[in-house]
Every structure is written in C-alpha cells, then in structure tokens.
C-alpha cells in the first residue's frame, strides 16, 4: 500500500505540498525521466517516470476529493462536457496518446459526454509532406532545395481540435475507450497512433465544510 508520504517522496516534495507544487514537481520529473523527453536523454528512466506519474495521480486524487465545486470546475477546463470530472492526465507511449480520467461515478445507466483536446498531425498541404518548396517547372512540379514556407521544412503541421465522445454505460463499465487513428502522427512513416481513454471512478465524497 502506497501512502501519501511515499507519494510526496516520489515527487521530491515535502509532505502537505499544495496542488500547484504537485503539478510542477510532476512536470519536472517528466522532463527529467520520461523516455521521450529531449532533456532526459541518458537519464531517462521509465521506472522513475512511472512512479512519479502514479504519485502525481494519487496525490491529486486525494487533494481533489475534498475540493469545492469551483475548484473542480477550474480543473475540468481542459476536458470539457462533464463537469463533475475530477482529474485528467495526458501521456504518450509511442504514437498512442492516453488520457487517464478520474470521474465522479455517473448515475447508473447514464451516458457521459466529454470533449477532449487532441493534436491532429497532417502532411503539409503545400509541400505534400516533403518539407521543401514545390515549384512549377515546365509541365510539372519540382522540389527546390528551399524549406517549405508553410511548414518551415517540417513536412507536416499540427492542428489542435476537440473530439467529442459520448461514453455509453457499457463503455463506462469497461473503463476504457479506444479511438482509432486519433493519436500522434508520424509523418515519415505515414502512421497514426490511437487515442486511448482510461476511466476510473471516484465516489462522491461528502463535503467536509
Ligand atoms: Zn510544407
């Protein structure tokens, strides 16, 4: 059984640190240890990252169980549509993007509507993913050795959008929803990952004030 004390320790925090401190400690740990983090490099440690992530989730869940409706609302801005939602964290693994959501348990048989922010990567429409400037020449087109001015040579662009999900009571019971091809985009391989939403439920706790 992991105690709150362990969780604070895993985030290098003093016991009783507030939500903003918990968040920034987690961001630091993710930067230092996440395998995809550029600044982690040789220090990357999936194990340390996982511990920090679990601690972050656990501490926020504890903190938010007693939070007022106003505080919860402020934290549900990112994921909208279901206001008694308690916590969300986003992480990636390869091309798959995961949302871990902790919601207040909805009434039996009720569906839940959520709006999730996602980043949709697309091949750049100007250079068709090549990254170089496409110029008309003779009867056809050639690529000039000049970076495409639309995407700056990246070959793809990212669009932020929201996807709306209606989670039926069957989906809520399974605790997991997978949306194909809405994860990250690898433009070189032309591959897309999935968006995976993991659901957990927190019982509504009596207010202590
Ligand atoms: Zn381009």
Please give the distance, rounded to the nearest whole angstrom, from the Cα atom of residue 186 to the centre of ligand 1: 15
Q: Please, what sign has the CA dihedral across residues 191, 45, 198, 69? A: negative
CA of 156 to the centre of ligand 1 (A): 6
Question: pLDDT tens track of the chain, all 209 residues?
Answer: 788 889 999 999 998 787 778 878 887 887 888 777 667 777 778 888 888 888 887 887 776 665 555 555 555 545 555 544 456 677 788 899 888 777 777 778 888 888 888 888 888 999 988 899 988 888 898 999 999 999 999 888 988 888 888 888 888 888 899 999 999 888 888 899 999 998 877 654 333 33
What is the structure's pLDDT at 150? Answer: 93
> Ligand 1 centre and the CA of 133: distance in Å?
7
CA 195 – ligand 1 centroid, Å: 25
CATH fold of 1-65:
Helix Hairpins (1.10.287)
Q: What's the gap in Å between 192 CA and the centre of ligand 1?
A: 19
Q: Where do the domains of the chain lie?
A: 1-65, 78-209
Q: What is 64-118 written as a DSSP string? A: HHT--HHHHHHHTSSSBS-TTEEEEEEEEETTEEEEEEEEEPPPTT--EEEEEEE
CB 105 within 8 A of CB 205: no
Pairing of strands 156-167, 112-123: antiparallel
Tell me, in angstroms, the distance from the centre of ligand 1 to residue 145's CA: 12
Angle between helices 19-33 and 46-65 in degrees, nearest 10 = 170
Residues in the chain: 209
pLDDT for res 178? 94
**Do 69 and 103 contact (CB within 8 A), yes or no?**
no
Q: How far is the CA of 147 from the centre of ligand 1 (A)?
A: 8
What is the 194 CA–ligand 1 centroid distance (Å)?
A: 24
What is the whole-number distance in angstroms between the Cα of residue 157 and the centre of ligand 1?
Answer: 8
Amino acid 128: pLDDT: 87
Measured distance CA(66)–CA(207) in Å, rounded: 7
Ligand 1 centroid, distance to 149 Cα (angstroms): 6
- How far is the C-alpha of 112 from the C-alpha of 31, rounded, in Å? 33
Q: Name the region of 153 (left: φ>0; alpha: ψ -120 to 50; beta: rest).
A: left
Q: Rounded to two decimals, what is the model's pTM?
A: 0.59
Ligand 1 centroid distance, CA of 191 (Å):
18
Question: How far, in Å, is the centroid of ligand 1 from the Cα of 89?
Answer: 32
Could you tell me the sign of the dihedral formed by the alpha carbons of 41, 42, 47, 48, in that order? Answer: negative
């Amino acid at each position: 059984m992991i105690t709150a004390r362990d969780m604070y320790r895993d985030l290098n925090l003093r016991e009783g640190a507030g939500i903003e401190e918990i968040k920034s400690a987690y961001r630091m740990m993710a930067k230092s240890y996440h395998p995809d983090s550029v600044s982690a490099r040789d220090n990357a440690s999936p194990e340390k990252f996982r511990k920090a992530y679990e601690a972050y989730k656990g501490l926020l869940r504890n903190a938010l169980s007693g939070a007022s409706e106003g505080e919860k609302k402020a934290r549900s801005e990112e994921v909208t549509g279901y206001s008694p939602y308690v916590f969300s964290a986003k992480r990636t693994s390869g091309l798959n993007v995961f949302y871990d959501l902790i919601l207040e348990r909805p009434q039996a048989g009720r569906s839940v509507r959520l709006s999730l922010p996602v980043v949709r990567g697309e091949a750049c429409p100007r250079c068709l993913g090549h990254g170089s400037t496409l110029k008309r020449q003779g009867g056809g087109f050639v690529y000039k050795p000049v970076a495409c001015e639309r995407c700056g040579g990246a070959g793809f662009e990212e669009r932020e959008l929201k996807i709306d999900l209606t989670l039926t009571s069957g989906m809520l019971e399974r605790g997991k929803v997978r949306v194909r091809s809405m994860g990250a985009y690898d433009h070189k391989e032309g591959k897309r990952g999935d968006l995976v939403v993991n659901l957990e439920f927190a019982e509504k706790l009596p207010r202590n004030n």
